[in-house]
A and B are shown apart, each in its own frame.
Chain A
Amino acid sequence: MSAVLAPARPRVAAPPRPRRLAVRTAQLVTGAVVLAALWHVHLDWTGLRELPGDVVHYLRLMFAHPDWSKLPYALQQTWVSVQMAWLGALLGVVVSTVLGIPAAQGVGPLWLRLPLRAVFAVIRAVPEVIIAIVILTVTGLTPFTGALALAIGGIGTHAKWTYETIEAVPGGTAEAVRAAGGTLLETARWGLWPEAAPELLSLALYRFELNVRTSAILGLIGVGGVGDLLTGYTQYRQWDAVGVLIVVVVVVTMAIDAVSGALRRRITKGARARVVDGTE
């Protein structure tokens, strides 16, 4: 008597698609801005069409028969650039630390923090090349000018990183030192420094890495180093020498990045950290 009831097929209704009006609008606006910029910027389209051929042509000029006789001079000038970068990083980091610590919340008073942060923001907006242009009126076209420009230009970002690092230090240790009767100095030495030091040291090395790149740019205005040579040889279309210089810049930069990166990993992660699967 039992009638077999055909089980009703369970129908799972897909949940309604979320209304994505805001996302669509944002996409449309972004697309419109990009298209408007592309249309208005007057790109040289024929140049773009010939670009692949040009690139092959110039790459062959640069790297088919590089003028290796320029190598010793290139290496010597690269050493000047690296010196600029090192000295600039050292000076910049020292000044940024001195100025950046009072700019951290909880360290300096508000009337000191705000102007310091404003100064950092202004320096961040001024390109290093322009800072170098001002400094060269004082110290002339010397690598010393380059180092000073890197130092001052670096303050903008590095002081910002410094106060952000100090603000990010968890307050527990410092509180414990204070509760145990530590003075302000002891609190800073035993509560803040051990927590902030690895990050600050790692950032200082990173500043050096960045400066190695920027020091090549400063050659544009003639303060010396490998950037000077690059600008000169490019302007005189000596492509075989430009090729050598680019090889030197790439190799030296990558070598410094590798060493500095390994040191930074050692500083922040400790001796036991291992690189897994080539990911940095």
Chain B
Amino acid sequence: MSVLAAPPRPRTWPRTVAVLVVLALITAATVTPAIGGIRIDLGTIARHWHFGWTKVQQMFDPDLSILPRTWKPLLETLEIAVVGAAASALLALPLSLWAARPTNPTWGRSAVRAVLNAVRAVPDLVYATVLVAMVGVGALPGVLTLVLFDLGVVVKLVSEAIDSADARYLEAGLAAGGTQAQANRMMAVPQTWPAYASQVLYSLELNVRISSVLGLVGAGGIGRLIDEVRGFYRYGALGVIIVEILVVVVLIEVASNVLRKRLR
């Protein structure tokens, strides 16, 4: 006849209320124009929503005459993406080994990480804008932008993969008398290879998306055409270009997913 008493409920509501109040305060601060917040103007949406709707409708009314002009920029977009991914892949492997503790127990680790954290904090199109002003219009600033962006992503993820990987092989290599460089080459690199290859493929996927808008600031590829048709209000043509990008992005994603599954 034992009576099981339920354990007392933990008191979580004060914390929940506190979190909600903080969130509400931040939100209130961002939407109060009196203290520099954003003015939410639902009236304009009610009055002008049909302008946007017309644009969307025009996009769904494809203007196929643009099609022959899209092939070259589309190819250039893909080429920029591939070259950017390849160049960053070459640089990323040594940098990842340098930034991870097991493969580099001595010096410079946190410096590499700090620099790459800063590199990652700048958005891609900001790099592109500044680089176009530096080296001129064309594919080169696009490739450089992608290299910087990819390095940030790939080195971070791969060096973290090395950090959390099983260090036994590396230790065996060192115990057998290998130098750190030899052990890295024979043990760490083969062990990290699948993670590295998978991240490089992922960066290629991201590159295709990014390089399709890089042209908006003059860094080559189909973005330049997007900018042009937008300037002429050819929304039908814009719709066609978006569909093309969609197809290419999906194809690359599918291919890279298939390849990544085989890597495991």
Q: A residues touching B (Cβ–Cβ < 8 Å)?
A: 33-34, 37-38, 40-44, 47-48, 51, 54-55, 58, 76, 79-80, 82-84, 86-87, 90, 121-122, 124-127, 129-130, 133-135, 137-140, 142-144, 147, 213-214, 216-217, 220, 227, 230-231, 234-235, 237, 242, 246, 249-250, 253-254, 257, 277-280
Closest 9 CB pairs of A and B: A125-B246, A253-B121, A83-B30, A41-B79, A37-B79, A138-B52, A37-B82, A137-B51, A217-B125
Chain A residues positioned under 8 Å from B55 (CB to CB): 134, 137
- Give Cα distance in the complex from A87 to B48, angstroms: 21
Q: Which of B41, B101, B134, B213 is most buried by chain A, counting CB atoms within 10 A of its CB?
A: B134
**Interchain pairs with CB closer than 8 A, number:** 167
Q: What is the distance, in angstroms, from A129's C-beta to the closest C-beta of chain B?
A: 6
Cβ B160 vs Cβ A220 within 8 A:
no
Q: State whether the Cβ of B118 lies closer than 8 Å to any Cβ in chain A.
A: yes
Cβ B117 vs Cβ A254 within 8 A:
yes
Cβ B250 vs Cβ A125 within 8 A:
yes
Chain A residues positioned under 8 Å from B101 (CB to CB): 277, 279
Q: State whether the Cβ of B67 lies closer than 8 Å to any Cβ in chain A.
A: no
Cβ B139 vs Cβ A130 within 8 A:
no
Q: State whether the Cβ of B49 lies closer than 8 Å to any Cβ in chain A.
A: yes
Cβ A37 vs Cβ B78 within 8 A:
yes
Chain A contact residues, majority secondary structure: helix
Q: What is the distance, in angstroms, from B75's C-beta to the closest C-beta of chain A?
A: 8
Cβ A220 vs Cβ B56 within 8 A:
no
Chain B residues positioned under 8 Å from A55 (CB to CB): 134
Q: State whether the Cβ of B155 lies closer than 8 Å to any Cβ in chain A.
A: no
In the complex with contacts A51-B135, A249-B122, A279-B160 CB distance below 8 A: yes
Cβ A80 vs Cβ B86 within 8 A:
no
Q: Could you give, for residues 200-226 of chain B, a 1 whenever the CB lies within 8 Å of some chain A CB and a 0 otherwise?
A: 000000000100110011000000001
Q: B residues touching A (Cβ–Cβ < 8 Å)?
A: 26-27, 30-31, 36-41, 44-45, 48-49, 51-52, 55-56, 59, 75-76, 78-80, 82-83, 86, 101, 110, 113, 117-118, 121-126, 129-130, 133-136, 138-140, 143-144, 160, 163-164, 209, 212-213, 216-217, 226, 230, 238, 242, 245-246, 249-250
Chain B residues positioned under 8 Å from A42 (CB to CB): 138-139
Chain A residues positioned under 8 Å from B49 (CB to CB): 138
- Give Cα distance in the complex from A142 to B43, angstroms: 14
Within 8 Å by CB of B52, from A76, A137, A214, A253, lies: A137
Chain B residues positioned under 8 Å from A253 (CB to CB): 121-122
Chain A residues positioned under 8 Å from B86 (CB to CB): 34, 37-38
- Give Cα distance in the complex from A98 to B164, angstroms: 36
Q: What is the distance, in angstroms, from A272's C-beta to the closest C-beta of chain B?
A: 16
Cβ A130 vs Cβ B242 within 8 A:
yes
Q: What is the distance, in angstroms, from A241's C-beta to the closest C-beta of chain B?
A: 12
Chain A residues positioned under 8 Å from B27 (CB to CB): 86-87, 90
- Give Cα distance in the complex from A54 to B133, angstroms: 11
Chain B residues positioned under 8 Å from A51 (CB to CB): 135, 144
Within 8 Å by CB of A250, from B37, B121, B160, lies: B121
- Give Cα distance in the complex from A214 to B126, angstroms: 10
Q: What is the distance, in angstroms, from B32's C-beta to the closest C-beta of chain A?
A: 10
Cβ B52 vs Cβ A134 within 8 A:
yes
In the complex with contacts A137-B48, A214-B123, A250-B118, A44-B135 CB distance below 8 A: yes
- Give Cα distance in the complex from A216 to B122, angstroms: 9
Chain B residues positioned under 8 Å from A234 (CB to CB): 129-130, 133
- Give Cα distance in the complex from A108 to B209, angstroms: 30
Cβ A213 vs Cβ B83 within 8 A:
no
Cβ A139 vs Cβ B139 within 8 A:
no
Interface CB pairs A-B, < 8 A, 26: A34-B83, A41-B80, A41-B83, A41-B139, A47-B136, A51-B144, A54-B134, A55-B134, A83-B30, A84-B38, A122-B246, A125-B245, A130-B213, A130-B238, A133-B230, A137-B51, A137-B52, A140-B44, A143-B38, A144-B41, A216-B125, A227-B126, A231-B129, A254-B121, A278-B110, A279-B160
